[in-house]
Structure 1
Amino acid sequence: MTQLIDTVAWILVREGRVLCARPRGKDVFYVPGGKREPGESDEQTLLREIDEELTVALLPESLRHIGTYQAADGAALVRMACYTAAYRGTITASAEIAEVAWFGYADRPRVPPVDQLLFDELAAGGELR
């Protein structure tokens, strides 16, 4: 039986690049966000994860779902619900994040398969260069 990993992600695009983060101890970058805790809604998960990872507060009233993607990653199936949102504060890598970076479409191979689907859609829509 395939394991399902249910995640929520914050999509922030600026000047044709999307914000990505690399957790400490990992080589791969991810779109910021994370796994849902039992009983959490997408909104609750996203607000908590982004505060923990990037030390900014997303503005709940501005959350907008832009798509949900699924892709196999090893023995797991990863589902990622993606949202845009305005935020308050300065994006800063927390203790659990080694670095943040702005990725263009050429950086697609540096992210996991489910993130690559998002990159494809952003590029097709002209948002990612």
Structure 2
Amino acid sequence: MRTEPARRLIDTVAWVRIEDGRILCARPRGKDIFYIPGGKREGDETDAQTLLREIEEELTVELLPHTVVHVGTYEAPVPDAVVRMACYTADYSGILTASSEIDEIAWFTYAHRDDVPPVDQLLFDDLVEAGLLAR
């Protein structure tokens, strides 16, 4: 009996910011694909700590910790790994601005689903089904 080797887990958190039926996405410096803003935890950070740090680093705004709400966790395979993305909404203060880590920010509708990675596509599917993301 042959067993599949365990895939490495890429554990991430993401900020789901929806305005006017569009979701905020960011294209990291040097990459061709857009992602839901967020990133990987450092050390023993909690999801909330990771989220607050990553969003400040990427988009130069401060998320308001008391407004952070978990909206879902998604998993999708990528070559040699599985990406897990814990998604949160939160209010923020400041002006959304791409940092030196980010080449571009954009507001996507469901029509842009193919422009994001597979794990992000799962979130897009749920958001459009819930009537939160415009087609």
State the TM bucket, normalised to the shorter chain: over 0.9
Instruction: Show the counterpart of 2:65.
Output: 60
Picking from 35, 39, 43, the partner of 2:44 is 39
Write out aligned runs for 1:36-115 (5 A): 36-115=41-120
Offset, 1:74: 1.7
Is the 1:71–1:77 Cα contact (8 Å) retained in structure 2?
A: yes
Identical-pair percentage: 65
Alpha-carbon distance between aligned partners in 1 of 2:107 and 2:42, rounded to the nearest angstrom: 27
Calculate the TM-score normalised by the size of structure 2.
0.94
The answer for the alignment partner of 1:25 in structure 2 is 30
TM-score, normalised with respect to structure 1: 0.99
Task: Return the offset for 1:94.
Answer: 0.1
SS of the equivalent of 1:128 reads: coil
Structure 2 portions without partners, runs of 5+: 1-5
* Aligned partner of 2:127 among 107, 117, 122: 122
Number of aligned positions between the proteins: 129
Asked if structure 2 preserves the Cα contact closer than 8 Å seen for 1:73 and 1:112, the reply is no
Q: Please give the root-mean-square deviation of Cα atoms over the aligned residues, in Å.
A: 0.5
Moved more, 66-75 or 92-101: 66-75
**Stretches of 4+ aligned residues off by more than 2 angstroms:** none
Structure 1 residues 89-129: Cα deviation after superposition (integer angstroms, max 9, x where no partner): 00000001000000000100000000000000000000111
Task: Describe the SS at the equivalent of 1:92.
Answer: coil
